[in-house]
Structure 1
Amino acid sequence: MALDHHKKESWQKIIALYGKPSVKRSIWQIINTCVPFFLLWYAAYWSLAVSYWLTLVLTCLAAGLLIRIFIIFHDCCHGSFFPNRTANEVLGTLTGILTCCPFYQWRHNHSVHHATSGNLDRGGTGDIWTLTVEEYLALPPLKRLAYRMYRNPLIMFGLGPSYIFLIDYRFNRKGAKMKERLNTYLTNLGIAAIAGLLCWTIGWKAFLLVQGPIFLISGLAGVWLFYVQHQFEGTYFEKDEKWDYVDAALRGSSFYKLPKVLHWFTGNIGFHHIHHLSPRVPNYYLKLAHEENTIFQDVVPVTLLSSLKSLKFRIWDEHRKKLMGFGYIKRYLKAQKEKER
């Protein structure tokens, strides 16, 4: 249900109370995330001489911390991790090297995503590619095939993370300014330098045996989180003339209700409806904003179990206002033919 006019006027004052970052909390989050990540990485390398099963356990924990590092990077892109802009840019660039994400490029695309999420006429940048039934049917056969392949879970969550983080982010977007281009080159250089140094000191096989699982697990989890935050049962999509920012945040961004330990590893990004209302709220205040204000609790939570339903969603039906599977296309075409008779 959409918020009434009174509530839409009041949410801005409420959310502003949580939009000021705490330097102490931010520094502590860097310490309790980055330090154990590097220690676990070294422990995983050390465990190669003991048992690779032990290595995999340690890399799973390190992958969880890399997701948390990405959330720090994400907050820096929004300028919400530190009060100082330069501090956010420096830390964002450094954490961007660790997560294979160029800071300025990602900040631009993600800002567009926030401004257009759920808008059928303006979306597409930094989003999961989502077509309406009519848009899909209007495509030529090859583009339909491309869309079907893109929305296939094996491709999206299997090949997708490797393509996005290893290939796509290595190139500047069209129209990028010099500062953004240089930042992408710096990020690429930093990634190559770290990988090269580790391959030289411990050997390329050991590097891949440790970093490989960390990258694959964190990449899969990251893409899944982004997917389920907007592709869930009851989500919101509207044409530009009907699109509303607050409705897109509270109805089109999920409250992913996870176990406490997973909320910690994912930097509370499960409170995504709060984040989309105000990207200026640091990750460590998202949960607090949700719990202290009933206005933000009138959303249906997505649980680990219910989120699995999102795997079947492929296409948006504007008439039903629902995400549907590809099997719905045949039923839709049959119904259209019956109407024409």
Structure 2
Amino acid sequence: MLQGKDLILATKPYACEERAKSWLYLLTTLCLLLLALASTLLLPLPFRIAGSILSGLLIVRMFVIYHDHQHHAILHNSKIADVIMTLFGIYVLAPTSIWKRSHDYHHKHNSKLFSASIGSYPIATRQRFEQMTPGEKRGYLFTRHPATIAAGYLFMFLIGMCWQSFASSPRKHLDSLLAIILHISGSIAVCYFLGWQSWLFFILIPFTIACSIGAYLFYAQHNFPGVVFNDNDNWCYDKAALLSSSHMLMHPLMAWFTANIGHHHIHHLNARIPFYRLPEVMQAFPELQQATTTSLRLRDIRACFRLKVWDPERNRMIGMREICSIRTEAQQAFRAPAAIHG
């Protein structure tokens, strides 16, 4: 059984794209997305609804392809691909300047406690959570709330990805401001010239679907029952990939729309493996078939959302009910000696 660097090195032969296949998947996905978006404006109502939903799902697939390009897993050093991906990043409210910086940081610090929550959902230990002010607790829980993640279009992408990056460093993230301006002005233009229904089907529904799926995938891939977190001294890259990144089981159709991102533990082990080779790597290494799994079933989604903080004493994530139970037990234990003494 390969471990550590030996396992990473064993996956290296798979970190090689087939350039023709990369172009094929990029262009077919892009064409399908453009056709689906066009249907939201040109066809009768039932087809507009279907086209709107399909557009949202195709944006997810295109985003994972964009994400692979940012990792230099596909179409590296292609100027044409660079232009396409730069434009798509602005369109999808994840411009290259902030997406690459934050996502690279996430890969280098995945599952580290006490590091900046750049490019990932914040994780607090139970002790740290108990020390927070009421306002800090509300902010922390709001970020991880199901409604916040479902509204990823607003909170994760428009505000988190674009506005906060520009506000923190305007010179570095002018493309974030450009993305906001183009998105809002485009929405106004569609409403004014084509009507509110066109805006609903062409922009609101596709982005709501795509951003909520994207936000949840990013959350659940690192916040699932069985996930492991470590302090910085005990952190190890390969263990973080295999123990702190899930294998999300999906229906083949959903796996296609998400471009195999469910094999997230493999992606974190070697981010240079193209998305279309991840299932191949999974089959080749028994070591990778032992990763903790989750899925898009309702019970698994609920199980992921229940997790709130990391408890080092129990070595697992726990929810609010357990936090309250532990707090009550501690208070009772504290009062017992005082009662005996009294």
TM-score (norm 2): 0.89
| Counterpart for residue 28 of structure 1 | 24
Q: Secondary structure at the residue paired with 1:248?
A: helix
Counterpart CA distance in 1 for 2:182 and 2:283 is 40
Alpha-carbon shift at residue 198 of structure 1 (Å):
4.5
For the structure 1 residues 79 and 9, does the alpha-carbon distance in structure 2 shift closer, same or farther, using more than 3 Å as the test?
A: closer
Q: Secondary structure at the residue paired with 2:310?
A: strand
**Deviations along 1:158-182, whole A, 9 cap, x unmatched?**
3x4312222333333577584x434
Map 1:167-246 to 2 at 5 A: 167-171=159-163, 172=165, 176=169, 178=171, 180-188=172-180, 190-191=182-183, 195=187, 198-199=190-191, 202-246=194-238
- Which one of the candidate residues 11, 26, 32 is aligned to 1:15? 11
Map 1:43-62 to 2 at 5 A: 43-47=39-43, 50-51=44-45, 53-62=46-55
For the structure 1 residues 242 and 111, does the alpha-carbon distance in structure 2 shift closer, same or farther, using more than 3 Å as the test?
A: same
For the structure 1 residues 10 and 325, does the alpha-carbon distance in structure 2 shift closer, same or farther, using more than 3 Å as the test?
A: same
CA contact (8 A) 2:94 2:161 kept: yes
Q: Do structure 1's residue 65 and structure 2's residue 51 form an aligned pair?
A: no
Alpha-carbon shift at residue 26 of structure 1 (Å):
1.3
For the structure 1 residues 21 and 196, does the alpha-carbon distance in structure 2 shift closer, same or farther, using more than 3 Å as the test?
A: farther
| Counterpart for residue 128 of structure 2 | 135
Q: Do structure 1's residue 312 and structure 2's residue 318 form an aligned pair?
A: no
Counterpart CA distance in 2 for 1:217 and 1:246 is 32
Alpha-carbon shift at residue 282 of structure 1 (Å):
1.4
Letter aligned with residue 68 of structure 1 = R
For the structure 1 residues 336 and 258, does the alpha-carbon distance in structure 2 shift closer, same or farther, using more than 3 Å as the test?
A: same
| Counterpart for residue 110 of structure 1 | 103
Counterpart CA distance in 2 for 1:76 and 1:193 is 28
Alpha-carbon shift at residue 22 of structure 1 (Å):
2.1
TM-score (norm 1): 0.89
For the structure 1 residues 193 and 31, does the alpha-carbon distance in structure 2 shift closer, same or farther, using more than 3 Å as the test?
A: farther
Counterpart CA distance in 2 for 1:166 and 1:177 is 15
For the structure 1 residues 282 and 176, does the alpha-carbon distance in structure 2 shift closer, same or farther, using more than 3 Å as the test?
A: farther
Letter aligned with residue 251 of structure 1 = L
For the structure 1 residues 82 and 311, does the alpha-carbon distance in structure 2 shift closer, same or farther, using more than 3 Å as the test?
A: same
- Which one of the candidate residues 294, 298, 309 is aligned to 1:302? 294
**Deviations along 1:270-323, whole A, 9 cap, x unmatched?**
000011011111111111111121121121322333522112111211111111
| Counterpart for residue 326 of structure 2 | 332
Q: Do structure 1's residue 281 and structure 2's residue 273 form an aligned pair?
A: yes
Q: Do structure 1's residue 82 and structure 2's residue 67 form an aligned pair?
A: no
- Which one of the candidate residues 239, 245, 248 is aligned to 1:247? 239
Q: Secondary structure at the residue paired with 1:327?
A: helix
For the structure 1 residues 18 and 193, does the alpha-carbon distance in structure 2 shift closer, same or farther, using more than 3 Å as the test?
A: farther
Letter aligned with residue 105 of structure 2 = V
Alpha-carbon shift at residue 214 of structure 1 (Å):
0.7
Letter aligned with residue 238 of structure 2 = V
For the structure 1 residues 123 and 278, does the alpha-carbon distance in structure 2 shift closer, same or farther, using more than 3 Å as the test?
A: farther
Alpha-carbon shift at residue 106 of structure 1 (Å):
0.9
Counterpart CA distance in 2 for 1:270 and 1:209 is 28
Counterpart CA distance in 2 for 1:81 and 1:187 is 24
Counterpart CA distance in 1 for 2:283 and 2:192 is 49
Q: Percent identity?
A: 24
For the structure 1 residues 141 and 107, does the alpha-carbon distance in structure 2 shift closer, same or farther, using more than 3 Å as the test?
A: same
Gap regions ≥5 residues in structure 2: 338-342
| Counterpart for residue 148 of structure 2 | 155
Map 1:251-270 to 2 at 5 A: 251-270=243-262
Counterpart CA distance in 2 for 1:335 and 1:320 is 15
CA contact (8 A) 1:89 1:103 kept: no
| Counterpart for residue 97 of structure 1 | 90
